[in-house]
Amino acid sequence: DADVTQTPRNRITKTGKRIMLECSQTKGHDRMYWYRQDPGLGLRLIYYSFDVKDINKGEISDGYSVSRQAQAKFSLSLESAIPNQTALYFCATSDEHNEKLFFGSGTQLSVL
């Protein structure tokens, strides 16, 4: 089983719809992250959480929100999806002693 699991793997939605992407991990890490990947660009940080009670905005948080439901679960929501949020979204985890990031397989989101 994958250590970092993202659902769904693919999603097509319409402008204005609310979308939730989910991430769960079995690595026991405290730190979780949401990134988006666009063609020709590096991964960009949307939100991150260092523990259950901690939520921080990343580089491109506008239009997104997150919820850290438990140590193992971190969900990303698009309250009202727009076409320029079409991208590949990755969840990642790390622990406080080793900055190395472990990524899920990604969710390809298309907003029409």
Beta strands 10-13; 56-57: pairing state: unpaired
Residue from 13, 37, 65, 77 that binds another protein (CB under 8 A)? Answer: 37
**Of how many residues is the chain composed?**
112
In the list 26, 69, 80, 105, the residue contacting another protein (rule: CB under 8 A) is 105
Closer to another protein by Cβ: residue 4 or 21: 4
Give the interface segment with another protein, choosing from 18-26, 67-75, 76-84, 97-105 (CB under 8 A). 97-105
Query: Would you say 41 or 70 has its CB closer to another protein?
Result: 41
> Does position 40 bind another protein by CB under 8 A?
yes
Using rule CB under 8 A, residue 50 touches another protein:
no
For residue 85, give every residue at least 6 positions away whose Cβ sits within 8 Å of its Cβ, in sequence order, or none.
63, 78, 109, 111
DSSP string, 14-47: -TT--EEEEEEESS--SEEEEEEE-TTS--EEEE
In the complex with another protein, the residue whose CB is nearer, 79 or 104, is 104
Determine the Cα–Cα distance for residues 86 and 66; give it in Å rounded to an integer: 18
Interface ranges with another protein (CB under 8 A): 4, 33, 37, 39-45, 48, 58, 88, 90, 92, 99-106, 108
